Amino acid sequence: MTGGPLDADLAAAQEALVRAMAAGGPMPPGFDADAVRAAARSVLRKRAAEVAHAWPALAASYGTSWRAAFAAWAAARPTRGSARDGRDFARAHRHELTPGAARELALAEVRWSYGGEGAPRRRAAGVRRVPGGLAIAVLGRARTLARGR
């Protein structure tokens, strides 16, 4: 028989555990706090690696501090997938992006319309400034153009 009080209790405990590990939630009662924190660090490292794969210039711009910088930002945020996590992180840190990371963000923004909520939607066309030029997308194809000197 399923759907009884034990199933509801187990589901609530699992939900609290996932929230503690992946979204900065409070430690659920009855779990080993050290083990949960170790698992949470592992989840954050995995998320950082996945975002680095999807956003290589962004991750490279942080060098060896990438995992720590991403983990500090992501610790209280549930994952929304590596593409959205990368975009949200880049937008939150826009003022400190290297030219390569700024270009990577601009290219994503000209291709996709995304305001932070809901699923991104493909743009028919878009233009964004990048260091030294413009990022332009038309019908899903994106390029950067350097300013003439």
CA distance 82 to 99: 21
CB 55 within 8 A of CB 86: yes
In terms of pTM, does the model score above 0.85? no
The tens-digit pLDDT sequence of the chain (149 residues) is 456 677 788 888 888 887 777 766 788 888 888 888 888 888 899 999 999 999 999 999 999 999 999 999 998 888 888 999 999 999 999 999 999 999 999 988 888 887 777 778 887 888 888 888 888 888 778 888 887 65
Of residues 112, 63, 123, the one with CA closest to residue 83 = 112
